[in-house]
Structure 1
Amino acid sequence: MGLRIGDTAPNFQIDTTQGKIDFHDWAKGSWVFFFSHPADYTPVCTTEMGRTSQLAPEFAQRNVKPLGLSTDTVEAHQGWISDVNDTQNTVLEFPIVADKEKKVAELYDMIHPGESTTATVRSVFIIDPNQKIRLIMTYPMTVGRNFNEILRVIDALQTTDAQEVACPADWQPGDDVIIRPTVSDEDAKKKFPQGWETLRPYLRVTKLNK
């Protein structure tokens, strides 16, 4: 059975472009954007690595550590990073896992034989500071990730963790939120003194507390 939302992210020890890491120790206290790419020196992957690097301040602001992975070697990663920096106008500073033996890729079900038996698909795992998997997304090899969506869902998860709300379709930071059905009207009066609009008994829309 594959990994599911709510599972503890499996731990591993492995070499990266920044030395060997123990994943749980490395991630401790932070959110993690853990993502795989099919191969070094390939076009879509180059743009994705560059975009992750360009967004470093956005990830840092959200207490998120990016961690890349492919089945290439550390040496291949190191050489490729120069290309990423040059073509994407950035300085890549986050670690990339060298999973030559495919141990982590298999642990996280990143290899889909219908796509490739050796290269990873474009998997995304958002993992919280308690090391719980909060989001899983998978993109095909020919389609790059939507980084606006990755940041949006991290914002949504952090918002819903902080307050007893849910985020509606297409929610963006600053938009109205929904009071969870598990919160009674009595409790909602205390938690949301700004009030709310009742569209249905189960659909109460409010502004976020500042």
Structure 2
Amino acid sequence: MPLNLGDTFPNFDADALGIEKFNLYDYLGDSWGIMFSHPNDFTPVCTTELAEAARLYKNFRDKNCKLVGFSCNDMNSHKEWAKDIMSYGGSCGDLPYPLVCDPDRKLASSLGIMDPAEKDKAGLPLTCRSVFFINPQKKLAASILYPATTGRSFKEILRVLDSLQLTEKYPVATPVEWIPGGTCCVVPTLSEEEAKTKLPKGHQVQNLPSGKAYLRLTPDPSS
């Protein structure tokens, strides 16, 4: 059954490139996690995506976040394809994050991310381009679902992670095109008195035609 935001992300055991006996909870520990699926190994868009994830791996690690890739391919396929990924990305060595094997499609089916429009050579359905943001309490904090034809931006995935981590600590929300250090919105549930104590940098109420004081802006409280 597809997961809703706030649901506990299910633990699972699997074989994975990089960690032969992979357990999701053991791997994540107390860190944030981002698990992302791709439709198929040895395909063009997937290769560009996973190479970019490898290139940005240290950026995620520095934010206390661990990456996990997965698809419905087996270990032999992952091993061979990983060489292409690293070569395309201009990097040496092994893929820096585990790549889960789900050849029986049990994990993908349980997460509700099979794409009936995309099939492998045997006619079996492939996974969508999903992204699951898992917080340290193992709750689903955010999710993204793209079709096979649309590659994801891992810089945007980083930005979403920044927003999730900021808004977990402070009573703010991040507006359109926000980047770390940018102006934030004060959450509507925070009273004016609470805002004065919880947001010491202050805030400004925007004058709008409705006369309602709901759009309150404040500097990034973490910077």
Question: What TM-score, normalized to structure 1?
Answer: 0.95
Q: For 1:32-51, what aligned pairs fall within 5 Å after superposition?
A: 32-51=33-52
Kindly report the root-mean-square deviation, in angstroms, between the aligned alpha carbons of the 2 structures: 1.2
Q: What amino acid maps onto 1:9 in structure 2?
A: F
Q: For 1:1-210, what aligned pairs fall within 5 Å after superposition?
A: 1-17=1-17, 18-90=19-91, 91=93, 92-116=95-119, 117-199=124-206, 200-209=212-221, 210=223
Query: How many Å separate the matches in 2 of 1:79 and 1:88?
Result: 15
Q: Which moved more, 1:121-130 or 1:105-114?
A: 105-114
C-alpha displacement of 1:118: 2.4
Which SS does the other structure have where 1:168 is aligned? coil
Q: 2:209 — aligned with what?
A: none
State the aligned residue count. 210
Cα deviation per residue 1:155-178 (whole Å; 9 max; x = unaligned)? 001110111111111111111111
Q: What amino acid maps onto 1:8 in structure 2?
A: T
Cα deviation per residue 1:173-208 (whole Å; 9 max; x = unaligned)? 111111111111111111122211111422111112
CA contact 1:165–1:178 (8 Å) conserved in 2: yes
Query: How many Å separate the matches in 1 of 2:14 and 2:190?
Result: 43
Q: Which consecutive segments of 4 or more residues in structure 1 shift more than 6 A?
A: none
CA contact 2:180–2:220 (8 Å) conserved in 1: no
Query: How many Å separate the matches in 2 of 1:149 and 1:208?
Result: 18
Structure 2: stretches of 5+ with no match in the other structure = 207-211
Which SS does the other structure have where 2:217 is aligned? strand
Percent of aligned positions that are identical:
40
